[in-house]
Amino acid sequence: MTLPDEWAGLTRFSFGDSPALADELLALVLAGRKTATCSAAVDGPLSTVGELAVVLDGAGVPAAVIETVEYTQRHFDQVDAAFAHDEGEGDRSLAHWRQAHERYFRRLGRFAPDMMLYCERFRLVARLQPR
């Protein structure tokens, strides 16, 4: 897919650590259920407020454009229920968020209960694929 010129130079990324997870989380974004994400702070900041980015599907095809609307740091064990809900995964509870994200960060070899995270809220700007 060729992106419009206005989006051609944007950062491109996919959610998760596998094609299946990328597709699953992208579907939540496109459904309006997922409006937040997080990353390990040791990876450095991945966004800034107002930044646009292209979200790729599991096959690496551009699927959406999002805009960061909030970008903060907090420890894993300080993530609250509101943020967990906005991540949109599972039953949207804090308990589910903690369990799923502990598994994810363990797979990456990064988990610690007090690890620092970048917590991002975003809005969907455009869909790039028909769904």
**In the CATH scheme, what is the code of domain 5-125?**
3.10.400.10
Check residue 99 and give its pLDDT.
Answer: 97
Q: Give me the phi and psi of 30, to 5 degrees please.
A: -65, -25
CA distance 66 to 107: 26
- Residue ranges covered by each domain of the chain: 5-125
Give tens-digit pLDDT for 44-60: 999 999 999 999 999 99
In the predicted structure, residue 9 carries a pLDDT above the cut 80: yes
Nearest C-alpha neighbor of 82 from the set 121, 124, 50 = 121
The whole-chain average pLDDT of the chain stands at 95
pTM of the predicted model as reported, rounded to 2 decimal places? 0.93
In the predicted structure, residue 2 carries a pLDDT above the cut 80: no
CA distance 108 to 106: 5
- Residue 63 — pLDDT band, cuts 50, 70, 90? very high
CA distances from 123 to 55, 70, 112, 113 (A): 12, 10, 29, 28
Check residue 130 and give its pLDDT.
Answer: 64
76 DSSP 8-state letter = G
What integer is the mean pLDDT of 18-38?
97
